[in-house]
């Protein structure tokens, strides 16, 4: 589904990604772990189309098309979803406006009819229940005054509604207490499907105890240094990144 080949990217003059190679098959869950500053968030931002980063070499093929040629909204229409590490607050816009606009924008580009208000509310209520979020949440401004946990739940709620083909989850577990971690983890698990791939970016193993990845990769200094199955995460939790970074 996703093929990243020799991807190099920099921010201003600083190279961050220095030749990433990664193949993600349909239905697979890949976890990317690594120390601070290794380039994990840059990778997800480049894949989602954030223009603060300049791709200097390499290519990314997503379902047969060159992903890097697409605008962020075109990537979303093509089924790519990024859960932000720091979800953005938009005071003045109700959460439900964004949710409904997003769902219908993506439906429109998938050739599906727009959801009417009633249909949308039914759907969103279903998803709110899964994410254990109160309905009042819909009428609050987008992420404004949300706790860290609420923001992350809101991201996963959006993912549930948008049903992406490729989900990029950037440190969705950071800032969560044990209960919220379980809800978010279950929210991700519920989305597992043979048609959907997930790239999970995380510092810690704890989310991977709930969402079992098929593959784990270690990113350090802008390169994938090591890949393995889920047992690699356990090893990293015990031994840390030091040995890998030195390699």
Partner 1 sequence: MSGFSEWLARIKDVRAPEALAVGLPNKRIESWKYVPIRGLARTTWQPASPQITEQFALTGGQFVNVPTVNGCAVSENTLTASEQKRLDRMSQAHGFGLTQAALENTRLVLTIQKTASVVLNLHHLANQASSAGFATLVLRVEAGGQLTLVEQFESTDIESANLSSLRCLVALSRDSSVTHVRFQAANAAAHVFSNLDVECSENATYRLQTIEFGSKLARNDVHIALVGREASASVNGLAITSGTQYHDTHLAIDHVVGETNSEMTFRNMVDGKGEATFNGRVLICKDSQRSATEQSVANLLLSDSARVNPKPELEIYADDVTASHGCTVGSLNKTELFYLKSRGLSEADARAFLQYAFAEKIVEEIEHRDIRELVETQLLGELKHGELIAELKESIDV
Count H helices, E strands: the chain?
A: 9, 12
Min CB(126)–partner 1 separation in Å: 17
Q: What are the residues binding partner 1 (CB under 8 A)?
A: 48-52, 71-73, 75-77, 81-82, 84, 87-88, 90-94, 96-98, 100-102, 105-106, 109, 116-117, 141, 158, 162
Type and span of the H or E element at 18:
strand 14-24
Min CB(119)–partner 1 separation in Å: 11
Tell me the C-alpha distance between 58 and 4, whole Å: 8
Min CB(77)–partner 1 separation in Å: 6
Alpha-carbon distances, residue 37 vs 14, 34, 72, 93, 223 (angstroms): 12, 8, 24, 33, 12
Q: Which two tokens stand for residue 114?
A: 């727009």
Min CB(81)–partner 1 separation in Å: 8
Q: Which two tokens stand for residue 153?
A: 């739940």
């Amino acid at each position: 589904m996703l093929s990243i080949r020799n991807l190099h990217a920099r921010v201003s003059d600083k190279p961050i990604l220095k030749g990433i190679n990664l193949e993600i098959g349909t239905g697979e869950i890949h976890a990317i772990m690594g120390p601070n500053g290794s380039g994990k968030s840059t990778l997800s931002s480049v894949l989602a189309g954030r223009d603060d980063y300049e791709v200097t070499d390499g290519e990314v093929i997503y379902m047969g098309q060159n992903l890097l040629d697409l605008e962020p909204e075109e990537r979303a229409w093509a089924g790519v979803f990024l859960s932000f590490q720091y979800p953005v607050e938009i005071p003045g816009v109700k959460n439900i406006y964004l949710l409904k606009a997003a769902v219908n924008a993506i439906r429109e580009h998938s050739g599906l009819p727009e959801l009417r208000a009633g249909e949308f509310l039914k759907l969103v209520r279903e998803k709110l229940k899964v994410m254990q979020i109160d309905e009042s949440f819909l009428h609050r401004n987008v992420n404004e005054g949300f706790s860290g946990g609420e923001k992350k739940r809101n991201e996963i709620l959006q993912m549930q509604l948008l049903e992406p083909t490729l989900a990029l989850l950037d440190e969705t577990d950071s800032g969560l207490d044990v209960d919220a971690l379980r809800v978010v983890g279950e929210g991700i698990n519920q989305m597992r499907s043979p048609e959907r791939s997930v790239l999970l970016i995380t510092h810690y193993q704890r989310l991977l105890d709930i969402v079992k990845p098929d593959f784990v990769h270690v990113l350090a200094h802008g390169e994938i240094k090591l890949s393995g199955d889920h047992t690699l995460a356990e090893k990293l939790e015990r031994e840390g990144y030091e040995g890998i970074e030195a390699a």
